Structure 1
Amino acid sequence: MSCQIPPQDSGITLLGGGQLAAQDLDESLTMAPNLIGVDGGANMVLALGHNLLAVCGDLDSVSAETLFAVDPEIVIETPDQNRTDFDKALDLADAPVILCVGFTGKRMDHQLACYTVLVRQAAKPAILIGDEDICFHLSHPVTLDLPVGTRLSLFPMARVVGHGGGLRWPVDGLEFAPWGQIGTSNEVRQGPVTLSADGHGLLVILPRRYLRDVVRVLWQGDPALCP
């Protein structure tokens, strides 16, 4: 059975079937409490005892036990094999911020596809959460108040010109490209750091401990509801 997910006033957590520690999900749910199991991620949700807003994907990795246990009214099958389940899940997610857990740490091709989806779905306030780092697409100008010395990487998925200040190695007016100039292992020289880009394609990578800071700058809803 298929359903639509209504827009949420608080954040959505997407849980994929990749590498996951229980604390990953717990941390995300404190900021984005509406949980969607993306394909095999739904199996982990039930194993950890959490409630589901929806299950989505092509369902090829969802166990029969999981499908039996969940309300069929919340199952959204998206069988299109030309797009990843992560991509299709972002289509369905309408929230002020979308935290994406369990999409890294196993297959490298899956992880690379997720970075591509962040660019393709540039309008979505999505943050990809890994073991050590977080990653988001620079879709609009942001200002981040980060400690001096914080590692901040910029990685281009297309030819794009970056702008900003506050970094040890200046990026203002610098043309990035995956076959040319990249911006990994930069660091904060003085705060606040300002970042923007001409067009889509520039990913920002930060240590995971700054997740809440990034949630605040990407939040697209009522500021009073921002965690």
Structure 2
Amino acid sequence: MSSHHIVRDDQEPALIIANGAECSRELLGQLLEWSPLVIVLDSAMNRVLDLGIKVDVLLGDFDRGFDPDYFLEKQYPLEIVHTPDQDKTDLEKAFDYLVTRGIPAANVIWATGKRADHTITNITNIVRFRDKLKIVVLDDHSKVFLLPKKFEKWYPAGTPLSLIPVGKVSGIDSKNLKYELSNDELTIGYRTGSSNEALNDGVVLIKHKDGDLLMMECFD
């Protein structure tokens, strides 16, 4: 795997590599090409190094005897960010780092699969940073992001789309979905909008009044 493309426009999303299941080399390469900044969590650094990826920032609590200085020679220049706060996950701390850098968006990979608790936490953290970062979590099967109160996007007919509420979401209306929503309410654990799909080629419109609603574009 080659190093990432040299892009220095901080308006492009940074890329955060967590420590869940790996994605395909194709997806990884596509994201690296346009990422101005590549951040790797310490728990994934050895795996990333094996792929030959140029890393900009190594971030984590560096526990369990982890030696960040070992990677300086292999990845120079490399910014090492020690974040010992045990009240936050390393991914949350990576989001905090981007906020302090003034970078407005992040793509996150290797954040799903493996442990279910990590997957759930990583995905729902999108909501916590809603006013600070535009976050997209990607793997080979899905793309997850927070919907604004009004969302419009063109999809081919039959594209699998799932609407996942974080808590309760009310006043949901849609157009061009197979299972339309009209002033509906979704609540995690009771009723969600999973396994819906675009009805026809064209723009899908989704509006909601209250709550946090995640879109999951699925690639079956």
Common fold: TM-score over 0.5? yes
Aligned-residue CA RMSD in angstroms?
2.5
1:203 matched residue in structure 2: 214
**Given the superposition, is the C-alpha separation of residues 196 and 91 from structure 1 closer, same or farther in structure 2, using an over 3 Å criterion?**
farther
Equivalent residue in structure 2 for 1:156, among 153, 165, 169: 165
The whole-number CA distance in structure 2 between the counterparts of 1:83 and 1:160 is 26
Equivalent residue in structure 2 for 1:194, among 173, 180, 205: 205
**Given the superposition, is the C-alpha separation of residues 136 and 28 from structure 1 closer, same or farther in structure 2, using an over 3 Å criterion?**
same
- More deviation in 66-75 or 193-202? 66-75
Could you list the runs of 4 or more consecutive aligned residues of structure 1 that deviate by over 6 angstroms after TM superposition?
none
1:54 matched residue in structure 2: 57
The whole-number CA distance in structure 2 between the counterparts of 1:140 and 1:90 is 23
Contact 1:10 1:97 in 2 (8 A): yes
Secondary structure of the corresponding residue to residue 131 of structure 1: coil
Secondary structure of the corresponding residue to residue 204 of structure 1: strand
Secondary structure of the corresponding residue to residue 190 of structure 2: coil
The whole-number CA distance in structure 1 between the counterparts of 2:73 and 2:62 is 13
The whole-number CA distance in structure 2 between the counterparts of 1:40 and 1:25 is 18
2:150 matched residue in structure 1: 141
**Given the superposition, is the C-alpha separation of residues 70 and 63 from structure 1 closer, same or farther in structure 2, using an over 3 Å criterion?**
farther
1:29 matched residue in structure 2: 32
Equivalent residue in structure 2 for 1:84, among 74, 85, 89: 89
The whole-number CA distance in structure 2 between the counterparts of 1:81 and 1:154 is 32
* Structure 1, unpaired ranges of 5+: 1-5, 210-227
Q: Deviations along 1:138-178, whole A, 9 cap, x unmatched?
A: 14532111001111000111111223321111123211111
Equivalent residue in structure 2 for 1:43, among 40, 43, 46: 46
Q: Structure 1 vs Structure 2: percent identity of aligned residues? A: 27
Q: Deviations along 1:69-99, whole A, 9 cap, x unmatched?
A: 4458611111111111111111222435311
**Given the superposition, is the C-alpha separation of residues 67 and 196 from structure 1 closer, same or farther in structure 2, using an over 3 Å criterion?**
farther
TM-score (norm 1): 0.79
The whole-number CA distance in structure 2 between the counterparts of 1:195 and 1:56 is 37
Instruction: State the shift of 1:66 in Å.
Output: 2.9
2:5 matched residue in structure 1: none
The whole-number CA distance in structure 2 between the counterparts of 1:59 and 1:23 is 30
Contact 1:137 1:204 in 2 (8 A): yes
Equivalent residue in structure 1 for 2:119, among 111, 117, 131: 111
Write out aligned runs for 1:84-103 (5 A).
84-93=89-98, 94-103=102-111
TM-score (norm 2): 0.82
Matched, 1:174 2:176: no
Higher share in strand: 2
Contact 1:138 1:200 in 2 (8 A): no
2:138 matched residue in structure 1: 129
Higher Rg = 2
User: How many residues end up aligned between the 2 structures?
Assistant: 204
**Given the superposition, is the C-alpha separation of residues 38 and 60 from structure 1 closer, same or farther in structure 2, using an over 3 Å criterion?**
same
Specify the code of the residue in structure 1 equivalent to 2:135. Answer: A
**Given the superposition, is the C-alpha separation of residues 121 and 189 from structure 1 closer, same or farther in structure 2, using an over 3 Å criterion?**
same
* Structure 2, unpaired ranges of 5+: 1-7
